[in-house]
Structure 1
Amino acid sequence: MGQSADLLAVLIDADNVSASKIGAVLTEVARFGTASVKRIYGDWTNTQLSTWKQTANEHVIQPVQQFANTVGKNATDSALIIDAMDLLYTRRFSGFCIVSSDSDFTRLATRIREEGVTVHGFGERKTPAAFRNACDTFTYLDVLEVPKDEPAAAAPARKSASELRQDTKLVAGLRSCITTASGEEGWANLSNVGSLMRKQQPDFDSRNWGYAKLSDLVKVIGLFVLEPRPAGGLQIRSKSK
């Protein structure tokens, strides 16, 4: 059976993610495709997961029970990994969404990508770089908009032009990607630049600096020229020094 163009498996580590964020996560997931499988893993006899029970029901997420059989060992992670591999071998999915801040899923993400399947990671800022970089894209939970009826964590503060220009990793990354994606006249398709940035830095997201769109971010930086493309969309080039 071939992969669907947009069929996704969403696997959530209940021990590692707040229930208040899942609505925003699923909204973000919808940008990538259809979440045909949604499972959440944890020890549901544990009172610490009580807030998840109603949330999982509201969002039609299948709870998977995993008892903590051994102290110091995370059985939940093992259950999620086994299920992920079973789903991978069905060849039905074009992408997996792993919702966790745990580095234990680094090898899982790498293995899925070895099969030519996309991995979208979601987690907190504390997520180790190894897991973030093992994903095709990685989105921090604090940049996602939480529904109005749910408590929201503080979103990243919007950075000023001077602060953005001092972010050498950001500016150098944009310049490099513009050079790679540009034609003879130095113009590059902005969407292509954004795609290249995410390939090099899976956690790249304009919302990390407080801007909803990449175009808003580059405008404020002030080191680039942004214009409409004749064929639609926007094009970008570095300003002449």
Structure 2
Amino acid sequence: MKDLGHGFSLAEKNIYHYDSKTFTNLRKIIDYKSFELIDNYRDKTFYFKDKEHVYVSSYMCTPSVIEWADPAHFKIINGEEGIGFDGNNYYWYDKTLPYDYSNAQKYNEYYLREGNGVFFLIQPVEGADAESFSIIWQNIGRDKNNLFFKGVKEDVDVNSFKMVPGCFDTFHLDQSHTYYASDDSNVYFVNTLGKSLKKLNGVKPEEFSVKVIDERLYGICGNNFYFFGVRKKGVL
């Protein structure tokens, strides 16, 4: 058995992380004779190479081969952010970055600018104006014309879009990723872990308010209340 370090080992063309087999999906690709650990970031991300490929195992991706990465020149640029470089391309975990990381400017942990382009993680934000782009909250951004949720344009009035008062006045259990917002015409439930903003159909902004009860955030409109953007009958 060959000790690779940090709990990884190699035995008879099997790679183990402690007692569990790993990289099993890449058995036909890995050259076991030259397979070795390159570097790691804490106990979260581990990089390996053989004579032909570079590999990564991380909490951010399953054990994967980093396509096109050159094992002879690959090195870790920023372990915390999962950035590697081989002299030609920059990589984010197992993905090739579509921009020059060395020239990128961060808006926050999700959005960045490189030249005149805006990117959400590794995806171009289509139609975004880099000069006027700014962050509303976490993975929600805007420019002078549009609002973007996870890098995708949303059909809202960006100039009147705002948080419903009271969403963070009192602690609630999901305040790290949820709140209610409105523009001039509609009310939205915002869940940064979701796929998009959720419009509350038929709800007028001037008739909507929020309330925190037992550390849970509720929206209120007339005789209905909303929990996680879903309408419930009755009065709180």
Structure with the greater alpha carbon radius of gyration: 2
TM-score, normalisation: structure 2: 0.25
More strand by share: 2
More helix by share: 1
